[in-house]
Structure 1
Amino acid sequence: MKKTNAMRILDKAGIPYKAEEYDDDGEHELEHGAASRTAEKLGVNPDQVFKTIVFKSESKEVLVFCQSAVHEINEKKARNAAGVKSVTPVKQDELLALTGYIRGGCSPIGMKKQYRTFIDSSVMNLNEVCVSAGARGVQLKLAPADLVKASNAEVCDLVL
């Protein structure tokens, strides 16, 4: 398995993780069951699979949110957590240039720049969380506290 930037950062920090490859079908839409299919392939509960969502504020600040992939993000809670007036999802064609990652392979760890990052508080109820390793078809399994540390994130309530 090729090391991703996220893996190299975890290795350098001495943070334990497991990288698992799975067959990525290219369908990354919540309403089409992406979280459940990924969880099944990884042998974990769907609530453990966390997605990374990148937004821009009204001032064009890039903001990163990470939450269980089975839930929709609550944009009001996201705005409140970041202390901004509005959030707009980053367009797919901007994602790679801003983060270094593509849709379906966006990790909260190791983006091109350290953006303010927020992780839903439900993560702290888990023993292990799964996030993208920075490539489609590869997930990282790690302890929630290690994810928070590695992504330099703030833990807050984000879901509907």
Structure 2
Amino acid sequence: MTPAIDLCRAQGVTITIHEFTHDPSNRHFGEEAASALGVDAAQVFKTLMVSAGAQQFALAIVPVSGSLDLKKMASAMGVKKISLAEAKTAQSRSGYLLGGMSPLAHKRPCALYLDQQAKNYHTIFVSGGRRGLDIELTPQDLLTLSEGVWADIAQ
């Protein structure tokens, strides 16, 4: 279906695929997913690409009910300052459209930081690689697949 789902299947990771009809006029992708899936927005996580310079990128995975704390993320990365990557750069590096950016199977992999709030749930929901497609998996499976780390990065 998507590179993210293909990766999960190839690694034998148990996932549940959730599809819903995406409203093209909606730009609040995570909230739309939570509403369509009937789950708490705190259990649905968005993927944000950040940049600490022209060649240093990372993924911040935070609940859609909150936001990314740029200072905390910079600290987790061990740098002084970061910014959100430009949309064009994020799409090019990941191979996914904004609003459908999975944290898994990027064209150009980068470090992944999963907010510690994910520990509150047995499973979390993340984009499956396109708008209107989420996958449900355990936070630990996400970290294992992505070689990611836990971090306190959300506001």
- TM bin, normalised by shorter chain, reads over 0.9
> How many residues of Structure 1 are paired with residues of Structure 2 in the alignment?
154
> Is 2:53 aligned against 1:54?
no
Q: Which residue pairs with 2:5 in the alignment?
A: 7
Pairs within 5 Å for 1:1-160: 3-26=1-24, 27-29=26-28, 34-58=29-53, 60-160=55-155
2:88 partner amino acid: D
Aligned-partner Cα distance in 1 for 2:57–2:30: 24
Asked if 2 retains the 8 angstrom alpha-carbon contact of 1:48 and 1:129, the reply is yes
**Percentage of identical aligned residues:** 26
Q: TM-score normalised to the size of structure 1?
A: 0.91
- The Cα of 1:113 is off from its aligned counterpart by 2.2
The residue matched to 1:85 in structure 2 has which SS?
A: coil
Asked if 1 retains the 8 angstrom alpha-carbon contact of 2:47 and 2:101, the reply is yes
Which runs of no fewer than 5 residues in structure 2 stay unpaired?
A: none
Which runs of no fewer than 5 residues in structure 1 stay unpaired?
A: none
1:20 partner amino acid: H
CA RMSD of aligned residues (A): 1.3
Asked if 1 retains the 8 angstrom alpha-carbon contact of 2:100 and 2:132, the reply is yes
Aligned-partner Cα distance in 2 for 1:49–1:123: 9
The residue matched to 1:20 in structure 2 has which SS?
A: strand
2:27 partner amino acid: H
Aligned-partner Cα distance in 1 for 2:80–2:55: 11
Poorly superposed stretches of 4+, deviation over 2 Å: 26-29, 34-37
- The Cα of 1:59 is off from its aligned counterpart by 5.2
Aligned-partner Cα distance in 1 for 2:131–2:54: 30
The residue matched to 2:100 in structure 1 has which SS?
A: coil
Q: TM-score normalised to the size of structure 2?
A: 0.94
